[in-house]
Amino acid sequence: FRLNIDGLLVYFPYDYIYPEQYSYMLELKRTLDAKGHGVLEMPSGTGKTISLLSLIVAYQRAFPLEVTKLIYCSRTVPEIEKVVEELRKLMQFYTKETGETNNFLALALSSRKNLCIHPEVSSLRFGKEVDGKCHSMTASYIRAQRHSNPSLPTCRFYEEFNVVGRQVPLPAGIYNLDDLKDYGRRKGHCPYYTARYAILHANIVVYSYHYLLDPKIADLVSKELAKKSVVVFDEAHNIDNVCIDSMSVNITRRTLDRCQTNVETLHNTIQQIKETDAAKLKEEYRRLVEGLKEANVARETDVYLANPVLPDEILKEAVPGTIRTAEHFVGFLRRFMEYLKSRLRVQHVVQESAPQFLKDIYEKVCIDRKPLRFCAERLQSLLRTLEITDIADFSAVTLISNFATLVSTYSQGLTVFIHTLEYLTGTCKNFFVMCVSVAPQTLSPLDIYPRMLDFRPVTMASFTMTLARTCLCPLIVGRGNDQVALSSKFETREDFAVIRNYGNLLLEMSAIVPDGIVAFFTSYVYMENIVASWYEQGILENIQRNKLIFIETPDAAETSMALEKYQEACENGRGAILLSVARGKVSEGIDFVHHFGRAVVMFGVPYVYTQSRILKARLEYLRDHFQIRENDFLTFDAMRHAAQCVGRAIRGKTDYGLMVFADKRYARADKRGKLPRWIQEHLSEGSLNLTVDECVHMAKHFLRQMAQPFRQEDQLGLSLLTLEQLQSEEMLQKITQMAHQS
């Protein structure tokens, strides 16, 4: 139906609306009006995607000049597909209501692996292989070579696209990945390049985080996106980690060894070319003098790892003389590599800031900062000149040159770690486009995000679920039946009594909770310890009488197998327990709807490994630059992961689930206060420090209550509104009240 949000006409494709969706749209509208950042938190299953899309689309239609584009960043491919489906529903509704076909173009973008339709290439299994193969067919110099040598393999889809694809824009409509492929097959165009070209004039783009955040990729894909875009990060509770990952380089001794061979190959190729085609090298030299800017022209397909965020001025400058000729550059690389090798030969851990590192490198091997900055760009140019097709082979040397550029470009916030085994660099810098609207599920406390990411939001709101029945039951179990305090903290980690009580808790829960239980541990090591000791005490055997047990392992294939079997066991009434790890794959991406997760048990508080150097450096950085205390950050981080794990079980208003926090530390106000509001609300004083028995009793009662029939009529007017109800004065007041609270 149609809604009036603060003067904006919004079409909403469903007959009913949740009150929190309405207030969510209000907040969003305010954010857009103010053209600022916004951080909005909303529990899962309350329809945030559709409310977000319908508001922004309406906004785009109303003010086509203010907002030209919506960029929706999601995490996984299924998520992306889901967003596109919602969007399709919305558009169908628009056509039905207004009677006119609108020329909206919305599309999803993913990697070549998901989009390729070339019969040979698309059958490859790994993303890297697909990229490499595609590259070997479509790179500009390969195609140039083909003029002289027509026997080289070619991708007819790309050729077709190159000839006519650019002139024929993608017709308006909603495209998910399969639609793009279909379109590609019909027209004979390469879907990947069609999509990449089309995002320039699309109204809505849905793609993965990395296309925007990871500077190495963002440079390619998102560079030309208009300034007036709305950027939405879905499930952004991990956004800081994604940022850090994208700016980190990991170098091990093996990388260096591989790099060594790379450099040798480079050297040999240069020698060969010198004998056969000296002019080519000269030509390159000339280009380098002119500056790199020109090198950017027509290299759409010549993508190695693009350089890590070169500031513009670098591109305009000429490449310094020391590395301009090919031999010199190879020598330079060799020197740099030897230096790294020597540094790797340490016996203890060293931590250096970027300037320190640069100074050291200057003293030891006389490498200046300036050539280092050009290292990545120079390597690319060289590889291009040498017409090396198989880029996958050269990943090691690319990595090192990237590292060189990173370390010399960012003097602040970047730290170099030298472990006995590996190099690691971490940085906490981020770039934001125009309007960030974060719509994740677990983001509490909200104010730490803006501080950490260094931006100033205009709106910040946390929404809760209005429920017709209390369908979640958070319980904090602090003691065993024998009054032993339960905690995963370091001192009591090995304590026999604690482990036994944890086992008892799981055993008791397995007897009363139907179907699936998901149990989270703080780490793999901890899980292994506990499970081994349960086995010795015979607890595991007792649990197995009630339910089957599945375990998550670091191996992805094994885990997905376990997950599949777990779901099967839940489905046919056998019941199952999944033991998994907070921060693992299960806790991040897998939903346990309805019977797949009737209870989540959180053993301990999932703190990060605090002795880690990277974490320490990060904490230091946060303290120095953003005045966030270490402890605050650690608790915040632990609680968001706990909430994330526990939130897996409840995916909507008809769903219900138990949430058991088994650690006495959860009862403390500072921890409890950092849980999302929708969980806190249901955490009564009476359920703070329970024993196992008390917990079992409450759980039993809760499960019986929840099993009573629940119809849609019960929700109506309370947590589900029709248009008339929404327009009533009373309800509006309630909603505004809700917004004020947050």
Partner 1 sequence: MDEEPERAKRWEGGYERTWEVLKEDESGSLKATVEEILFQSKRKRWEVFLFTSLGLGTMRHLFVVVDCSRSMDDQDLKPNRLTSTLKLLEKFVEEYFDQNPISQVGIITTKNKRAEKLTELAGNPSKHVSALRKAVDTVCLGEPSLYNALSLAVSTLKHMPGHTSREVLVVMSSLTTCDPNNIYELIKTLKELRVRVSVIGLSAEVRVCTVLTRETGGSYHVILDEGHFRELLQIHVKPPPSTSASDCSLIRMGFPQHIMVNVNERDAKPSFSMAHLDAVVGSGLSLGGYFCPQCSAKYTELPVECKVCGLTLVSAPHLARSFHHLFPLESFTERPLEGHPGHRSVRFCEACEGELRDKTVFECPSCSGVFCVDCDLFIHDTLHCCPLCIHRNSAT
700 binds partner 1 (CB under 8 A): yes
- Neighbouring residues of 209: CB distance < 8 A, sequence distance ≥ 6: 73, 74, 75, 233, 239, 242
Write down the least CB distance from residue 709 to partner 1, Å: 7
Q: What minimum distance in Å lies between the beta carbon of 571 and partner 1?
A: 7
DSSP classification of residue 161: I
* Contact between 148 and partner 1 per CB under 8 A: no
Asked if 593 is part of the footprint of partner 1 (rule: CB under 8 A), the reply reads no
Q: Is 550 helix (H, G, I), strand (E, B) or coil?
A: strand
DSSP annotation of 716: B
Q: Which stretch binds partner 1 (CB under 8 A): 37-45, 436-444, 539-547, 608-616?
A: 539-547
Does the footprint of partner 1 cover residue 653 (CB under 8 A)? no
Per the listing, tokens 């950085």 go with: 621
Coil/strand/helix, residue 189: coil
Site string for partner 1, 495-514 (x = CB under 8 A): ----------------xxxx
Comparison of 387 and 693: residue with beta carbon closer to partner 1: 693
Shortest approach of partner 1 to residue 548 CB, angstroms? 9
Candidates 194, 401, 504, 546: give the one binding partner 1 (CB under 8 A): 546
Q: For residues 2 and 701, which CB has a smaller minimum distance to partner 1 in the complex?
A: 701
* Residue with Cβ nearer partner 1 (206 or 468): 468
Main-chain dihedrals φ then ψ at residue 666, nearest 5 degrees: -65, -25
Given the complex with partner 1, which of 99 and 573 has the nearer CB atom?
573
Distance CA 307, CA 378 (A): 10
Whole-angstrom Cα distance, residue 323 to residue 288?
A: 10
How many CA atoms lie less than 13 Å away from 638 in the CB half-sphere? 27
Angle (deg, nearest 10), helices 19-34 and 48-62: 40
- Identify which of residues 28 and 513 has a Cβ nearer to partner 1 in the complex: 513
CB 536 to partner 1: min, Å: 24
Residue 355 near partner 1 by CB under 8 A: no
d(CA 287, CA 282): 9
Residues 597-636 that bind partner 1 (CB under 8 A): 598
Contact status: 412 vs partner 1 (CB under 8 A): no
- DSSP-derived 3-state class of residue 373: helix
Shortest Cβ distance from residue 543 to partner 1 (Å)?
12
User: CB of 704: closest distance to partner 1 in angstroms?
Assistant: 5
CB 344 within 8 A of CB 281: no
Task: Give min distance, CB of 707 to partner 1, in A.
Answer: 3
Among 167, 572, 611, 627, binds partner 1 (CB under 8 A): 572
Decide if residue 547 touches partner 1 (CB under 8 A): yes
Among 185, 254, 274, 704, binds partner 1 (CB under 8 A): 704
> Which of these ranges, 318-326, 642-650, 704-712, 722-730, lies near partner 1 under the rule CB under 8 A?
704-712
**544 interacts with partner 1 by CB under 8 A:** no
**H/E segment holding residue 443:** none
713 is a contact residue toward partner 1 (CB under 8 A): no
Contact between residue 109 and residue 207 where contact means Cβ atoms under 8 Å apart = yes
Task: Kindly state the smallest distance separating residue 701's Cβ from partner 1, in Å.
Answer: 7
What CA–CA distances, in Å, run from 295 to 207, 224, 406? 28, 17, 20
At residue 445, φ and ψ (nearest 5 deg) are: -80, 145
138 near partner 1, judged by CB under 8 A: no
CB of 703 to partner 1, least distance (A): 4
Instruction: Find all residues with CB under 8 Å of 331, minimum gap 6, and list them.
Output: none
Task: Give whichever of 705 and 722 is closer to partner 1, judged by the CB atom.
Answer: 705
Q: Quick check: 4 binds partner 1 (CB under 8 A)?
A: no
Residues 467 and 705: their CA atoms lie apart, in Å, by 14
Q: Is 714 in the site for partner 1 (CB under 8 A)?
A: no
**Distance in angstroms (rounded) separating the CA atoms of residues 372 and 364:** 15
Nearest approach, Cβ of residue 665 and partner 1 (Å): 25
| Contacts for 81 with CB less than 8 Å, ≥ 6 apart | 108, 176, 177
Q: Give the residue from 345, 448, 412 showing the smallest Cα distance to 617.
A: 412
Q: Which of 257, 294, 564, 571 binds partner 1 (CB under 8 A)?
A: 571
* Count of residues of this chain found to bind partner 1 when the rule CB under 8 A is applied: 28
267 near partner 1, judged by CB under 8 A: no
Selected binder of partner 1 within 79, 302, 515, 655 (CB under 8 A): 515
**Is residue 578 close enough to count as binding partner 1 by CB under 8 A?**
no
Piece in contact with partner 1 (CB under 8 A), picked from 72-80, 335-343, 592-600, 722-730: 592-600
Task: Determine if 712 is a binding residue for partner 1 (CB under 8 A).
Answer: no
CB of 183 to partner 1, least distance (A): 38
Site for partner 1 in 173-232 (CB under 8 A): none
* CB closer to partner 1 out of 294 and 568: 568
Q: How far apart are CA 99 and CA 93, in angstroms?
A: 10
User: Among residues 595, 625, 677, 734, which is the contact residue for partner 1, using CB under 8 A?
Assistant: 595
Which residue, 25 or 569, is less far from partner 1 as judged by CB?
569
Smallest distance, partner 1 to C-beta of residue 176, A? 30
Q: Looking at residues 670 to 689 of the shown chain, list those that interact with partner 1 (rule: CB under 8 A).
A: 686
711 binds partner 1 (CB under 8 A): no
Span near partner 1 by CB under 8 A; candidates 405-413, 471-479, 519-527, 566-574: 566-574
The tokens for 157 are: 């889809």
Q: d(Cα 727, Cα 738) in Å, to the nearest integer? A: 16
- CA-nearest of 613, 109, 583 to 352 is 613
- Which of 125, 709, 711, 713 touches partner 1 (CB under 8 A)? 709
- Under the binding rule (CB under 8 A), the answer on residue 667 touching partner 1 is no
Q: Write the DSSP string, 631-663.
A: HHHHHHHHHHHHHHHHHTT--SSS--EEEEEE-
Shortest distance (Å) from residue 482 CB to partner 1: 22
Structure tokens at 718: 């309370």
Helix or strand run (H / E) with residue 38: strand 37-41
574 near partner 1, judged by CB under 8 A: yes
Site stretch for partner 1 (CB under 8 A), options 253-261, 328-336, 593-601, 726-734: 593-601
Strand 2-5 and strand 8-11: the pairing is antiparallel
Residue 697 interacts with partner 1 (CB under 8 A): yes or no:
yes
Q: Is 708 in the site for partner 1 (CB under 8 A)?
A: yes
Longest dimension (CA), the chain: 86
Binding status of residue 594 toward partner 1 by CB under 8 A: yes
- Can you read off the two tokens belonging to residue 346? 């340490």
Choose between 705 and 736: whose C-beta lies nearer to partner 1.
Answer: 705
Residue 4: phi and psi, rounded to 5, are -110, 105
Q: Does 570 bind partner 1 (CB under 8 A)?
A: yes
Q: What angle do the packed helices 369-385 and 395-409 form, to 10 degrees?
A: 150
549 binds partner 1 (CB under 8 A): no
Question: Does the footprint of partner 1 cover residue 655 (CB under 8 A)?
Answer: no
Pairs from 549-552 (Cβ < 8 Å, separation ≥ 24): 549/576, 549/577, 549/579, 550/576, 550/577, 550/578, 550/579, 551/527, 551/578, 551/579, 551/580, 552/578, 552/579, 552/580, 552/581, 552/584, 552/585, 552/586
Burial class (CB in 10 A: 0-12, 13-18, 19+), 103: exposed
The full length of the chain comes to 742
Least distance to partner 1 from the beta carbon of 574, Å? 6
What is the contact surface with partner 1 in residues (CB under 8 A)?
A: 511-515, 545-547, 570-575, 594-595, 598, 686, 697, 700-701, 703-709
